[in-house]
Amino acid sequence: MSPQTLGRTLIIANPAAYSGKGENAVLFATRYFSSFYSTASSCEVRLIEGPDDAQRMASDTHGYQSVIALGGDRTIHEIVNGLMRLDEQNRPRLGIIPMGSSNDFARTLGMPRNDPANAISELLHGEERRIDLGRVNDVYFVQTLSFGIDAAIAIDSTDRASKNKQAGSHLFVTSGIKIIVSGLRGWPYQAVVDGEIIEGMDFAFAVQNGPTYGGGFRICPDAVPNDGQLDLCLTVDDLSVPQSLKLFGLIRTGKHTKSSSIAMRRMRELTVRFQSDDVPPCQADGEKLVAREYHICVVPLALRVVTPANCPW
């Protein structure tokens, strides 16, 4: 397949991504697009310097055909939320050059991870597809949303990523063990899932647009981002620490779905209210959210993305 042109292209890049390795990826991408003019009619690079920069930059992309996110899942999250501020007719397609610790959205798309040369090649020989997004309150997410212990583990691993030699699932494992053995038991909740009322105590409570979180943990193994639904994984039992550790180990390969302590389902709309005095942790694509009540829904086929030609879905 001959390379496609990305048209007028903006690269929004996080040079601090992947413990600073993003800087070399930015230099490589800049040299590449400057040298091969046929790949894009024009290419501009904007560097992220502080919080909300990526979202602000992405919301100011009228006239661009493509926006490329160079960074990890949180960078992609910010850029998508910026793009969704634009009306659909003026919203550029999204491409990614994944440079991060977890790279779970890249796994969903089948993109090379922490390999800018091969990622650019896949962008230029790839295909444009539409994907669903999740929305929680007024925030969009591309891959994962989780609450309680799930979120506490994700937030801890994200906070440690820039200071730790571990990455991806290894980092998630050590954070998980630390959080679980601390004795954290979860938060009671009441939820309405597509009209059905359910109650429980969370250990696993994840809403997924793609199958993995935490650098490859297969929390919702059957999730695909273009089926008009989100996938939900939640615990239905109050688990002891040993039981929680066992279940956590099973989640890594997706074998937890056979446990009687786990409920799996597809959904379009969910409202969840936590009933404890303290507000439980919550994260969307690695970004912290704070509320006592959350309304979640799927936004079908909301975003155009460039995927590899051999995309797994």
CA distance 227 to 52: 30
pLDDT of residue 119: 98
Is residue 164 over pLDDT 70? no
Grade residue 165 by pLDDT with cuts at 50, 70 and 90.
Answer: low
Bridge pairing between strands 293-307 and 42-47: unpaired
pLDDT of residue 278: 86
Bridge pairing between strands 269-274 and 293-307: antiparallel
CB neighbours (10 Å) of residue 154? 30
CA distance 157 to 173: 9
The model's pTM: 0.94
Helix orientation angle between 168-181 and 241-251, rounded to the nearest 10 degrees? 170
Q: What is the dihedral of CA 10, 128, 56, 211, to 10 degrees?
A: -130
Average pLDDT over residues 42-64: 96
